[in-house]
């Protein structure tokens, strides 16, 4: 497949040595079809800004205009979904032309609803049950409710929309936006936008994912063009592309939960360029709110994210601390107050306070682990099943890319993080005991904890092994 016909009149470019190809019944990608390949850092594709679908185009649809007229606020992603819905909202007149940039042309390149059933948004209750205890499940249910509420809001402002677009189609359009939109940045690895922030970029949205640290991964940004104006430009990787190679781009460094929720896949070994796993788990703990009253707050837990860890521990130190502890330690240079005048304690303040903090955190971690129906050891055993043998139903359901396997990867990744933090809590409590007995010093505890927070690998033993909990020096 060559460059889509609706892009040809408006100056879009696809390298002549590459082509859009089918990678299965519903998936597409971009591959090098010329024997000579494509050199490093060369333009693979270029799409002028006028060919990019931005939220402004969604505002110009009948439903978008109705929302604006009635002063109803919806997100930019919703406006992109409205633009897609406008392509399927009614039957097209026979013989209607494919005007360059019309929604009908772009709609033809989008995956059909049935090919998006791997997204949790469309999973059955039974499939979602595989994520019992995971935040991905609760986030999926919340997203369904939010989209249904937005759908009702749109119908309230534009009644014909409900007759033309079903709720399932609205879900599908939003799933297309989530899985295909780009942030229109002007610098690599930065979030600076061109003023439109997000958009759907024809051709570029057919690039499949590879980690940015992979030398085969292409990169993209909005660039100024020699003849004036700007375009979304994707360049080949630093190593170039050989004949038959698929062109990839990075969807960002994210936890598997994000990949599954947005794109419908999970990575078997999700690693950053520094070797750390970006997977996350979530715990809920009682902290002190801005009004001084106790509140429940959810924290993201990961391995090696020092800023998140310090923020969580600081909030717990404030909550369990006495007025005397807080006042005394506000004089330390490492401690301060935030905009709400709440004290911040990124470092331990005293052994009594720290013992209460670790106890509080341990209880939250154990509560989170208790929400799952399986253990980490059981999940790892499932993932280890031979995916190609026997044809047993249980084995088939765990094939690469299957819904069940993705669910097991998600929950095992979360338990891996929670297991690390449970071990940290137990080891920290053991070291605090040594401090109180005079076996270790307070300075030693502070130093070892700081080092532990920077570690990229879990310090918990593999399932089934349980050495004495100690923080690594």
What's the mean per-residue pLDDT of the chain? 86
User: Which position has the higher pLDDT, 472 or 186?
Assistant: 186
Residue 403 has pLDDT above 80, yes or no: yes
pLDDT score, position 338:
55
pLDDT score, position 209:
83
The stretch 41-67 carries a mean pLDDT of 93
pLDDT score, position 325:
79
User: Which position has the higher pLDDT, 92 or 193?
Assistant: 193
pLDDT score, position 173:
97
pLDDT score, position 109:
81
User: Which position has the higher pLDDT, 401 or 430?
Assistant: 430
Cα gap 39→268, rounded to integer Å: 30
| 244-263 pLDDT tens trace | 999 988 887 889 999 999 99
Residue linked to tokens 């947005």: 262
Cα gap 451→153, rounded to integer Å: 50
Q: pTM surpassing 0.85?
A: yes
Cα-based torsion angle of the residue sequence 344, 346, 352, 358 in order, rounded to the nearest 10 degrees: 110
CATH fold of 281-454, please? set domain protein methyltransferase, domain 2 (3.90.1420)
Q: Is domain 5-52+201-252 in CATH 2.60.40.10, yes or no?
A: no
**Least confident segment among 81-95, 413-427, 433-447:** 81-95
Count the Cβ atoms, other than its own, within 10 Å of residue 111.
16
The stretch 447-466 carries a mean pLDDT of 88
**Least confident segment among 7-21, 166-180, 333-347:** 333-347
Q: Are 198 and 55 in contact (CB under 8 A)?
A: yes
pLDDT score, position 78:
97
Cα gap 107→85, rounded to integer Å: 9
| 295-326 pLDDT tens trace | 999 999 999 999 999 999 999 999 998 888 77
| 356-380 pLDDT tens trace | 999 999 999 999 999 999 999 999 9
DSSP 271: -
Total number of residues shown for the chain: 473
**Least confident segment among 21-25, 331-335, 402-406, 419-423:** 331-335
Residue 48 has pLDDT above 70, yes or no: yes
Residue 466 has pLDDT above 70, yes or no: no
Q: Name the pLDDT band for 101 (thresholds 50, 70, 90).
A: very low
Residue 104 has pLDDT above 80, yes or no: no
Helix 351-369 / helix 306-320 crossing angle, nearest 10 deg: 110
Cα gap 28→206, rounded to integer Å: 6
Structure tokens at 36: 């000579």
pLDDT score, position 98:
44
- The contacts of residue 83 (CB under 8 Å, 6+ apart) are 53, 57, 58, 61, 64, 103, 200
Q: 3-class SS at 247?
A: strand
User: Which position has the higher pLDDT, 90 or 262?
Assistant: 262
Cα gap 427→3, rounded to integer Å: 58
Residue 471 has pLDDT above 50, yes or no: yes
Residue 470 has pLDDT above 90, yes or no: no
| 136-177 pLDDT tens trace | 999 999 999 999 999 999 999 999 999 999 999 999 999 999
pLDDT score, position 3:
53
Residue 90 has pLDDT above 80, yes or no: no
pLDDT score, position 175:
97
- The contacts of residue 269 (CB under 8 Å, 6+ apart) are none
User: Which position has the higher pLDDT, 108 or 377?
Assistant: 377
Count the Cβ atoms, other than its own, within 10 Å of residue 264.
22
Q: What radius of gyration do the chain's Cα atoms show?
A: 26
pLDDT score, position 156:
97
Helices and strands in the chain: count of H runs, count of E runs: 16, 14
Q: Name the pLDDT band for 330 (thresholds 50, 70, 90).
A: low
Where do the domains of the chain lie? 5-52+201-252, 55-179, 281-454
Cα gap 249→251, rounded to integer Å: 7
């Amino acid at each position: 497949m060559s460059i889509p016909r609706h892009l040809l009149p408006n100056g879009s470019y696809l390298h002549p040595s590459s082509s859009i190809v089918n990678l299965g019944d519903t998936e597409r990608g971009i591959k090098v079809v010329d024997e000579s390949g494509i050199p490093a850092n060369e333009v693979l594709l270029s799409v002028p800004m006028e060919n990019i679908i931005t939220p402004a185009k969604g505002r110009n649809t009948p439903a978008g205009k109705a929302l604006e007229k009635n002063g109803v606020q919806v997100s930019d992603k919703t406006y992109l979904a409205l633009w897609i819905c406008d392509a399927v909202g009614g039957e097209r007149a026979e013989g209607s032309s494919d005007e360059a940039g019309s929604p009908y042309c772009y709609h033809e390149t989008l995956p059909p609803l049935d090919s998006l059933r791997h997204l949790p948004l469309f999973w059955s209750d039974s499939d979602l049950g595989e994520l019992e205890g995971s935040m991905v499940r609760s986030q999926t249910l919340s997203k369904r409710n939010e989209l249904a509420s937005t759908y009702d809001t749109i119908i309230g402002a534009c009644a014909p929309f409900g007759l033309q677009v079903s709720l399932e189609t609205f879900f599908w359009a939003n799933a297309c936006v989530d899985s295909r939109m780009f942030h229109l940045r002007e610098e690599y690895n930065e979030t600076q936008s061109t003023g439109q922030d997000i958009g759907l970029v024809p051709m570029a949205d057919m690039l499949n994912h590879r980690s940015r640290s992979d030398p085969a991964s292409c990169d993209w940004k909005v660039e100024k063009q020699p003849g004036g104006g700007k375009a979304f430009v994707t360049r080949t990787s630093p190593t170039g592309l050989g004949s038959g190679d698929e062109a990839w781009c990075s969807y960002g460094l994210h936890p598997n939960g994000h990949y599954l929720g947005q794109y419908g896949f999970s990575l078997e070994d999700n690693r950053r360029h520094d070797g750390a796993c970006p997977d996350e788990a979530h715990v809920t703990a009682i902290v002190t709110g801005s009004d001084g009253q106790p509140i429940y707050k959810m924290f993201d837990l990961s391995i090696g994210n020092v800023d998140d860890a310090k923020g969580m521990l600081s909030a717990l130190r404030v909550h369990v601390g006495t007025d005397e502890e807080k006042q005394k330690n506000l004089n330390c240079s490492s401690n301060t107050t935030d905009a709400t005048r709440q004290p911040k304690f990124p470092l331990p303040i005293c052994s009594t306070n720290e013992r209460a903090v670790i106890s509080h955190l341990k209880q939250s971690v154990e509560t989170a682990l208790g929400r799952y129906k399986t253990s980490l050891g059981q999940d790892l055993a499932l993932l280890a099943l031979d995916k190609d043998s026997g044809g047993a139903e249980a084995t088939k359901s765990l094939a690469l890319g299957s819904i069940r396997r993705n669910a097991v990867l998600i929950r095992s990744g979360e338990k891996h993080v929670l297991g690390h933090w449970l071990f940290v809590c137990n080891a920290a409590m053991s070291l605090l005991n040594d401090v109180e007995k005079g076996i270790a010093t307070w300075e030693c505890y502070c130093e070892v904890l700081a080092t532990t927070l920077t570690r990229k690998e879990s310090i918990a033993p593999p399932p089934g092994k349980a050495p004495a909990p100690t923080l690594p020096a």
